[in-house]
Amino acid sequence: MEGLDRAAVVDTWVKKYRRKYLRAIRHPFILGIRDGSVEMSSFRRWLAQDYLFVRAFVPFVASVLVKAWKESDDNFDVDVILAGIAALNEEIAWFKKEAMKWNVILDDVEAEKINLDYCNFLESLMSSEVSYTQSVTIFWAIEVVYQESFAHCLEDGSKTPDELKDTCHRWGSEGFGHYCQDLKNIANRRLEKVSDDVLVKTEASLLCVLEHEVEFWNMSRGAN
């Protein structure tokens, strides 16, 4: 019974924190993309800042890969994370191309404080003191916020402008959805077996991700 109870820890957290989760995946910035009302200056700010975020996200994901290699009993984990790193390589190239389309000079962009705070949080999780289970759960959470957000902009009834669709497909596509599902399955499999201490830490850091994501959208929108 206990196995059954804890089989889907991540899902119980998403339910428990539904309101916070919705705030991250249905933010006014995303709703503005979906209904076409987003300011182009906001979109350009998001693009530039997210490029810097992704550059910092890569070493974090690399740290998750190292932990998977050391701690995981399933080769599948390394395969999924490695595919994630490969996708991030492609994503960085995409940002450079997209930035040209929007006349954003990436080399001139400085990270805003909210972005730096998020990147520092990621860096704190790169420590070898942080367990693989916690890291991979956080990795899933960061990816799924974008997946759910941008998929919403592609659903029936959305009025996403054509020039923003490429961005939405990057994270809102079915393929990215499957990848997030793989990460979620890994997180759930690991969380089933860990100590209460790791569970408590992971739950707390999951909430931090949701808060950082909301702040990141606020910053992009220019609400700060």
Q: Is 163 a catalytic residue?
A: no
Q: Which pair of structure tokens corresponds to residue 129?
A: 């003191």
Phi-psi region of 27 (alpha: psi -120 to 50; beta: other; left: phi over 0): beta
What contacts 78, CB < 8 A, 6 or more positions away? 65, 68, 69, 72
Which single residue brings its beta carbon nearest to ligand HMH?
A: 146
| Neighbouring residues of 200: CB distance < 8 A, sequence distance ≥ 6 | none
Residues that bind ligand HMH (CB under 6 A): 50, 53-54, 142-143, 145-146, 213, 216
- Please identify which of the residues 112, 148, 213, 215 carries the catalytic annotation: 213
Q: Toward ligand HMH, which CB reaches closer, 65 or 194?
A: 65
User: CB 122 → ligand HMH: shortest distance, Å?
Assistant: 10
Tokens coding 5? 């109870």
- Supply the minimum distance, in Å, between the C-beta of residue 145 and ligand HMH: 6
For ligand HMH, the closer of residues 30 and 194 by Cβ is: 30
* Beta carbon of residue 34, minimum distance to ligand HMH (angstroms, whole number): 17
Q: With respect to ligand HMH, which residue has the nearer C-beta, 9 or 122?
A: 122
Cα angle value 17/18/23 (rounded, 5°): 100
Q: Which residues are catalytic?
A: 213
